[in-house]
Amino acid sequence: MNKHPMDMSSGSELAPALLQAYRETHYKVNAGPIDLEHFVLRVGEASKPLAGLHKKLGVDCSAFITACNPWGESLPDAENSKRQENFLQVLRVRSLRSIEGIGQHPCNQWQGEPSVLILGLSLAAARVLAQDYQQNAFVWSGADSTPQLVLIR
C-alpha cells in the first residue's frame, strides 16, 4: 500500500504492529436511515459507497472515530459503552450528522470497537475530536473518498 502524506507513522510513538493493525482494520459503516446499505472502509482504498454518500449529503469529507479504549488501553465493556454514548451525545449536541459502525480487524482476534462515521467533519475538527476522546488515530476521508489513517500519537 502506498503511504499517504497524512500517515506520518515514522514519527509515531505507536508500535509498528499496532500501526499495521490499524491499517488492516475493516471500518464497517452500518446501514443508515437514508436508504444506505452497510459498507466497509479500508485505509488507502477509494470507496465508491462513501463517495456516493458524500455526494448524496453534499459533503466532501468524513471521519471514522471511536471513543473506546483511550490511548489504546483496553477498558471494560461497560466503561467503553459509557464513553461511546457520551461521544454520540456530543455529536448530537453539535448537530454533526453521523452513522454508527464498528472497527474490526479481519482476524477477529480483537473485539471490534463501536465507532461513528461523522459526515462533513474537517480534518482539523476530526483531529481535535479524536484527541478529546484520547484516541491514538482515526480514519479520515477527503474529496477523493479514500480513507486515510491519521495519527494523533
pLDDT at residue number 126? 98
99 CB neighbour count, 10 Å cutoff: 20
- Check if the beta carbon of residue 107 is closer than 8 Å to that of residue 119: no
pTM of the shown model: 0.90
Q: What is the DSSP letter of 88?
A: H
pLDDT at residue number 64? 98
For residue range 55-96, what is the model confidence (pLDDT) as tens digits? Answer: 999 999 999 999 999 999 999 999 999 999 999 999 999 999
35 CB neighbour count, 10 Å cutoff: 7
For residue range 109-145, what is the model confidence (pLDDT) as tens digits? Answer: 778 999 999 999 999 999 999 999 999 999 999 999 9
Average pLDDT over residues 30-38: 77
